[in-house]
Amino acid sequence: MNNRFLNLVKFFFLETFKNKSEVFYTMFFPVIFLLLFGFIFGLGDTQHQEENFEYGLVFSSGYLSDTNQSSESAYDTVKAFFDPNKLDIYADNESLKNAVLSSKVDAGIIVDETSKVKVLYNSDPANMQKITWIKFAGENAIKRFLYGAKKDYLSLSSENIGTGRVESNQMDFLLTGIIAISILSGGMFSVINTFGRYKKLGVIKKFMVTPIKSNEFVIASSFNKILLNFFSIVIIIILGKVIYHMNYSFDWPMLIIVCLSSTLGMMAFGILLMVLFKELEVAQSAASILMTVMMFFAGIYFPINIIPGYIRWVSYILPIKYVADLLRHVAGVESMNITTFWLINIIMAASGIILLSLTSRQLMKDQARN
Amino acid sequence: MKIKSLLSIFLKEDFRNFIVIFWTFVFPLIFFLFFTSLFGNIGNGSENSSDMEFRAGIYFEKPPTGLAKEISQGLVTGLGDKNSGGPFENIYVSSFDEGIQLIKDKKLEIFIVFPENLDMLNLKVVLSSVPAPVVKSYYRSDSGSDFARKIFKSVLDSVNVEFYKRISSAEYTLEVQELNKKASDTFSYKDYLFPSVLLMSILTVSIFNTPLSLAYSIEKGITKKIFTTPIRSGHFLTVVILENLILLGISILLIYIEGKLMGVSPKAFSAKYIAYLFMNVITLISVGLLMLSVFRKLSAVNVAANILYQLMMFLGGLFFDVSHTPMIIRWFVYINPVSYMAQGLRNIINGMPLGFLNYFVPLVWIGACIIIFSLNFKKVMNYE
C-alpha cells in the first residue's frame, strides 16, 4: 500500500466523521430501528407470543344456578382453563362490552342461562394481526371449561429444534434481520450519499486531474463506509445484548467476512443506482423504494409463507434474505451448510467488486463528459 | 399580491424538484398499491387460503388403527391440505431422522410425529384413566415455523374439545359478535391502510417539507434577501404554509383518486372524514412548526425530522398494532397525536363515533405548538 492511498483513506476517514449527518444515518439511525422494531415486534406483542392475551368473562346468574355452582367456585375453576392467558371477571354484560371496546381485554365471553356462549371481539382493524390467535385460544378455553375437558385425549409436546450453536428464540431471529437491514441500507445509502455529494461538489472531477486512479478513489472512499457500517453493527449487537438479552454467540472473524461481502455487494448496488439514475435525488429515491420492498419481503417482520404465492418469488431474488441467513449462521442462531455460506459470501463479494469496478469507471467517465 | 407572487415562485420550484414530487405525490401512491397487493387478504377470512404456504412433515411411529387412525387423519386434514385449498402441504416422511433433517434444512415449517402408542386413544375413549398419547411437533425459531406451530396447536386443541363435546350431555352454542361493526360489514385491508397512507403523506409534508424548507431558507440567507423587499416574515411564513398546504392538497387528492379506483369505502369520502382529515393536517403542520422552534439548524432539523417521522409513523399504529408494546415506548403511543388521528379516521370508515380523545389530543397539540412557535417566532426567523 503506497502513501498516496493511505493519505486518501485518511482524508476520506476525516471527511466522513466530520459529516455528522452521515455518521448519524449510518451509525445511529439503524439503532433507532432496532429499538423501535425490537419493542414493537419482539417484546410484548402478541403476534409472537400467543400466550399473553387478556380475556373478560361474565357468568349469568341463570347459568350458575342451572349448574349448581357458586360464582366463586365457577370463577376459580374457569381461570385454570385460560391459563397462561389472563382472565378477568366482570359483573355484568355492559361493563364487559365496555372493557372490550376500550381494549382493556382482548375479548369478552358471556355464558348465559340458555347454554349460549357469546364471544365479543373488538372489530378495530388494529387487532387484525392477532385476532386469529385470540379467537383460537379464547374459544377453546371456554369450550374446555363448559364441556369439563380437564385432560387431553391427545397431548401435544412442542420442541424447538435449535439448528444453531445457541438456544434461540424469535427475538434473536428478528434482531439478526434488523442487523441485515442495517448492513444493506448502510452499504447502499453510504455510497449513494457520498458519491452523489462528491459528484455535486465536483470533488470527483478534482480528483481526476490528480494522479489518483479511479480504483484507488473508489476503494479508499468505500473502505471508510465499510468501517462505519461495521461500527454500526457492533453498536447494534451490544445494544441487543444489553436491552434484549440476545443469546448470540458471534463468530467474529466470520462476522467480519459477512459484513465485508454484504456491504461490498450493497455498495455496488448503490453505485449502480447512481450510474443508472445520474441524479443523487433520483438514486436516493430508488434506493429507498428498494429498501422498503426488501424490508417487507425479507421474512423478518412476518413469515414469507403468508406472502401471496404469485409475488413470493421476490423474496428469493432479493439479497436481504440471504444476508439475514448468513448473519444468523455467524451469530449461532441457526446453522447453514458451509458450502452455501461461502458461496453466498463469494457471490456477494465478487458481484460487489465487479460492479464497483465497472460502475465506478462508468461514474468517472460520466463525470469527465460533463 | 406579494404573497401570490412568492407562492407562485415557490410552487414552481417545488414542481421542478424531483424529491418533492416523488416523496409527496408518487411514493404514497406506490406504497398504497404495493401493500394492498401484498396484504390484501389479511383479516378477510382468507388467511387459511392457498395464498399461504406451509409445509408440514407427518410421521407415524406406528400405523394407527381404528378411531386413532380416523382422528390422526382428521388432525392432518384439519391443518388444511394444500391440495384442497388449505395452507399446508402435508409431506409424509418415512423416518423420524428424515423429518428432523428436513426441518433443519428448512424444507418443512413443522414436523409432526404421531407416537407409537397412538392406538391407546382407542382405549382412552372408553377408559379415561388411560394416559393420553403425546403428539410431538418440532419447529424452528423463525416466524414461519412458529406460525405453523401455533396453527397445529390450535387444531389439536379443537380436536380435544370435540372429544368432550361428543360425550357431553350439554350442548352449547357459540355465537361470535364483533363489536363496533355491522353484521354486513367485512374487514377490508384497503380501508385499514387508506388512513395510514393519508397520514403518512401528511407527515411527509408537515414534518419534512415545511420545517426543512423554512430552515433551509433561513440558514442559506434566502429569508434575509427576501426581507430586504417589502415582504415581511409573517408573509413569508404564510407563503411557506400555503405552499405546503397546496402540495398536501394535491397529494391527498391523488390518494383519493387511487382509493376510489381501488374501491375504498365510500365513508372515506364523507364530509365528516374530510373535515377530520383537515384537522389532522393542521395538527401535524403545527408539529412541524414546533420542531422548527426547537431545532433551528438545518442539519439538526433534518435529523430530528427523520427521527420524529419514524416514531410518529410506526408508533402511531399506522401499520402495526402498538397497543401492547412495553411501557418504555408505549408512553409515546399515548402522547402521539397520530395514534388518535389514525384511530379516528378508521372509526369513521367503520361507522363508529369519534371519541373525546380523537379531538382533544390533536387540539392540545395544535394549541401547544402554535403557542410555542409564536413565542419563538422572531428567533426562528432569525430576527434576533
B189-244 pLDDT, tens per residue?
788 889 999 999 999 999 988 888 888 888 888 888 888 888 888 888 899 899 99
Torsional class of B361: left (φ above 0), alpha (ψ -120 to 50), beta (otherwise):
alpha
Does the beta carbon of B299 lie under 8 angstroms from any beta carbon of chain A? yes
- Whether residues A22 and A90 share a domain: the answer is no
Report how far apart, in Å, the C-alpha atoms of B76 and of each of A208, B52, B82 are. Answer: 68, 17, 11
- Whether residues A64 and A35 share a domain: the answer is no
A222–chain B nearest CA distance, Å: 23
Closest-CA residue to B189 (of B23, B43, B378, B347) = B43
B198–chain A nearest CA distance, Å: 16
Closest-CA residue to B267 (of B179, B357, B188) = B188
Q: How many domains does chain A have?
A: 2
pLDDT tens-digit profile of A210-266? Answer: 887 777 777 787 787 788 888 888 888 888 888 888 778 889 999 999 988 988 888
- Whether residues A190 and A329 share a domain: the answer is yes
DSSP string, A324-342: HHHHHHHTTSS---HHHHH
B53, B158, B168: residue with CB nearest A140: B158
Does the beta carbon of B138 lie under 8 angstroms from any beta carbon of chain A? yes
A242–chain B nearest CA distance, Å: 15
Domain with residue A122: its CATH number is 3.40.190
Could you count the other beta carbons within 10 Å of the beta carbon of residue A173?
Answer: 24
- Whether residues A196 and A290 share a domain: the answer is yes
Residues in chain B within 8 Å Cβ distance of A304: 144
- Whether residues A190 and A321 share a domain: the answer is yes
pLDDT tens-digit profile of A150-177? Answer: 888 888 999 888 778 888 777 788 788 8
pLDDT tens-digit profile of B252-311? Answer: 999 999 999 988 989 999 999 999 999 999 999 999 999 888 887 887 888 888 889 889
Reported residue count of chain B is 384
Does the beta carbon of B368 lie under 8 angstroms from any beta carbon of chain A? no
- Whether residues A227 and A316 share a domain: the answer is yes
Nearest residue of chain A to residue B20 (CA atoms): A281
B368–chain A nearest CA distance, Å: 26
Question: Is the residue at A203 inside a domain?
Answer: yes
Residues in chain A within 8 Å Cβ distance of B42: 128-129
Q: DSSP code of A19?
A: -
Cα–Cα distance measured from residue B271 to residue B273, given in angstroms and rounded to the nearest whole number: 5
Instruction: Tell whether the model's pLDDT for residue B40 goes beyond 70.
Output: no
Per the structure, the complete domain to which residue A137 belongs is given by 54-146
- Whether residues A108 and A32 share a domain: the answer is no
Residue A47 phi, psi (nearest 5): -60, -30
B143, B176, B350: residue with CB nearest A173: B143
Report how far apart, in Å, the C-alpha atoms of A235 and of each of A43, A182, A243, A334 are. Answer: 20, 11, 12, 22
Instruction: Tell whether the model's pLDDT for residue A69 goes beyond 80.
Output: no
Question: Is A147 within 8 Å of B170 when comparing Cβ atoms?
Answer: yes
Strands (E), B67-172: 88-92, 110-114, 134-139
Per-residue pLDDT, A295: 76
Angle value at C-alpha A153, between A148 and A158, nearest 5 degrees = 115
Cα–Cα distance measured from residue A319 to residue A152, given in angstroms and rounded to the nearest whole number: 45
- Strands lying side by side in the sheet with A54-59: A86-89, A54-59, A107-111, A116-122, B173-179
* Domains of chain B (ranges, CATH numbers): 2-40+190-380 (no CATH), 54-165 (3.40.190)
**Bridge partner residues of A57 (DSSP):** A89, A109
- Whether residues A67 and A107 share a domain: the answer is yes
Question: Is B150 within 8 Å of A152 when comparing Cβ atoms?
Answer: no
DSSP string, B143-188: HHHHHHHHHHHHHHHHHHHHHHHHH-S---EEEEEEETS-TT----
pLDDT tens-digit profile of B83-132? Answer: 665 678 889 999 999 999 999 888 899 999 999 999 888 888 778 788 88
- Whether residues A14 and A62 share a domain: the answer is no
Residue type at position A93: N
Spell out the alpha helix ranges (H) of B268-336: 271-294, 298-314, 327-335
Instruction: Tell whether the model's pLDDT for residue B183 goes beyond 60.
Output: no
Grouping H, G, I as helix, E, B as strand and the rest as coil, residue A122 is: strand
Instruction: Note whether B195 and B345 are within 8 A (CB).
Output: yes
- Whether residues A274 and A363 share a domain: the answer is yes
